[in-house]
Amino acid sequence: MRKNIVAGNWKMNNDLSQTESLLKALQDQKTTSNAEVMVAPTFTNLSQAVSTLKDSNIEVVAQNMHFAENGAYTGEISASMLKSIGVKTVILGHSERREYFNETDELLAKKVDAALAKGMRVIFCFGEELADRKAGNEEAVVGSQIKNALFHLSAAAFRNIVLAYEPVWAIGTGETASPEQAQDMHAFIRQTLANKYGEDVADGVSILYGGSVKPANAEEIFSKPDVDGGLIGGASLKAEDFFAIVNAF
Ligand code: PGA
């Protein structure tokens, strides 16, 4: 059975003291949600976040990693390093990584392999740009992003994959895909998985929506049958807003 997941992607926000305040505020929130809750602080604050949240139900995840085990990759961080501080899940393929750091499907396939080889769970992000959608190419783009980065994997590997559909035109813009647009794309993604790996695998994979999810729109988006949660940027930086979204489940 797939799980509901709400993950907060803090991006390059919050220094150490801001991180401590936000973690504390998150721990003070009340919830009866059935969703798994995750937060992704910056690398410098991950270790602190793991220790602060060790007795909570909030998992600390990383925003990125390198595919190599170690070596001459100045400024990079490996899966083993993340695991050594207790981080078991990593976000890969975020559109900002693709756009500003030239991450390609081929590179992401290597990162996915490296994370899975270390027993980590991957939240794999993808999504079309506005021009793709205007041209009616959104399914072709999304389909090829998934195939290029993930379709070399075994069916069993999908137990450790979470997908995050994030239309680039909806990230940080205040513009959200309508619940129907999200559902249509999520159904297409699940069918794409089913065509390759069968219904059982497709049914078991959580598919999150990301792009300007807020307390005001979360419930309607999450009510769609193929939307299993959200990857939240801006609204994850305020504990009340983030938990209002978590509590939409
Ligand atoms: P946003 O970001 O919620 O601020 O649109 C989503 C994301 O980039 O994951």
**Would you state the pLDDT for residue 174?**
83
Read off the pLDDT of residues 221-239 as tens digits, 9 standing for 90 and up.
999 999 999 999 999 999 9
Query: Does ligand 1 have an atom closer than 6 angstroms to the CB of 232?
Result: yes
Q: Answer yes or no: are the C-beta atoms of 232 and 10 closer than 8 Å.
A: no
Q: What is the mean pLDDT of residues 57-81?
A: 98
Residue nearest (by alpha carbon) to ligand 1 atom 7: 233
Q: Does pLDDT of 160 surpass 90?
A: yes
Class of residue 23 by CB neighbours under 10 A (exposed 0-12, middle 13-18, buried 19+): buried
- Ligand 1 mutation pick, 5, 9, 245, max ligand atoms within 8 A of CB: 9
Phi, psi at residue 229, to the nearest 5°?
150, -165
**Would you state the pLDDT for residue 176?**
87
Q: Quote the DSSP letter at residue 97.
A: H
Catalytic pick among 59, 96, 138, 166: 166
Angle made by CA atoms 235, 240, 241, in degrees to the nearest 5: 25
Q: Does pLDDT of 1 surpass 90?
A: no
pTM: 0.97
Handedness of CA 145, 147, 153, 154 (dihedral sign): positive
| Other residues' Cβ atoms within 10 Å of the Cβ of residue 218 | 25
| Other residues' Cβ atoms within 10 Å of the Cβ of residue 75 | 6
The residue type found at 170 is A
Mean of pLDDT over the chain: 97
Q: Are β-strands 36-40 and 58-60 bridged in parallel, bridged antiparallel, or unpaired?
A: parallel
Read off the pLDDT of residues 126-143 as tens digits, 9 standing for 90 and up.
999 999 999 999 999 999
Confidence band of 175 (pLDDT split at 50, 70, 90) = confident
Q: What is the mean pLDDT of residues 184-203?
A: 98
